[in-house]
Amino acid sequence: MAFFDGFQETRRDGADGVRLRVRIGGTGPPLVLLHGHPRTHTTWHRVAPLLAAAGHTVVCPDLRGYGRSSKPPTTDDHGPYSKRAMARDVVALMAGLGHGRFAVVGHDRGSYVALRTALDHPDAVTHLAVLDCIPIVEHLDRADARFAEAWWHWFFFAQPDKPERAILADPGAWYGGDPAVMGEENHADFRAAVHDPAVVRAMLEDYRAGLTVDRAADEADRAAGRRVGCPTLVLWSARDDLEQLYGDPLRIWADWAADLCGGGRIDSGHHMGEEAPDQLAAALVPFLAA
């Protein structure tokens, strides 16, 4: 399959003066795909055409701070890189494209943006699918020695200055990435991003926001009893560690989603969109059609 066959790359407005690099293709009910760390939107290059062929207008942005999207100055509270700010980007982007309501699928860090979009903008989101995640506050509430050993990077990335210095000393060694697995074009886009100091700083701000303002937002919603109202699907990688750390993720998501439509394992490592695109699309298409 050609790289993003039938899609066009463009620049569109997000919120707060942010400009987003976006790839758009297909026709039909609108669907946003939100990537994770340290990828860009090109991580979806094998899945997006399948979803477009299934009858969706598929919109794939680089999150603010990532890839070639804007990297706004940060603040002491890391608010410009909060998932709330990124959710505003998603809503503004889709409104600018003429879509007041849309489905959203997020992977890894993008899943936190997807969740925040559904919680903060319930009238905009028709369906929510979250891949390889539980809410940030649920991770942190369960942070034990196993979590610290496996997910130590959350806490290292949140430190001032040192993670930038460590990563930028040799981004290729830090992030790895195999073009044979990722696809040549996707790997080239990812590699250019992680070698850009401004991208690295912004990605780290995403993690700093995660342990501060994002955690506080989750805690406030949980205390107020707010839940996602739209149909919600939860998928996770069979060869990653989410299930090993927490057991059945659906049990955790049951407290966050009023209309939990199930989910399950995808037979892949963490980057399921790259490693198991057909299986992922096969899980998403009937859910989005319901």
Side-chain-side CA neighbours of 56 within 13 Å: the count stands at: 28
Intra-chain end-to-end CA distance of the chain, in Å: 28
Dist. CA 273–CA 64, nearest whole Å: 20
> Which residue in 121, 187, 195, 270 is the catalytic one?
270
Count of all residues that appear for the chain in the document: 290
Give yes or no for a contact between 202 and 64, defined as CB atoms under 8 angstroms apart: yes
Q: Token match 């699907």: residue?
A: 233
Dist. CA 158–CA 234, nearest whole Å: 27
Q: State yes or no: is 270 an active-site residue.
A: yes
Instruction: Tell me the two tokens of residue 61.
Output: 């942005």
Q: State yes or no: is 108 an active-site residue.
A: yes
Give yes or no for a contact between 5 and 32, defined as CB atoms under 8 angstroms apart: no
> Which residue in 62, 89, 108, 206 is the catalytic one?
108
Query: Containing H/E element for 31?
Result: strand 30-34
Neighbouring C-beta atoms of residue 163, cutoff 10 Å: 20
Q: What value does the CA radius of gyration of the chain take, rounded to a whole number of Å?
A: 17
Give yes or no for a contact between 191 and 177, defined as CB atoms under 8 angstroms apart: yes
Which candidate, 237, 40, 46, 47, places its Cα nearest to that of 132? 237
For residue 38, is the peptide bond before it cis, meaning its omega torsion is within 30 degrees of 0? Answer: yes
Dist. CA 115–CA 135, nearest whole Å: 8
**Cα-based angle 264, 269, 270 (whole degrees, multiple of 5):** 80
**Residues acting as catalytic residues:** 108, 270
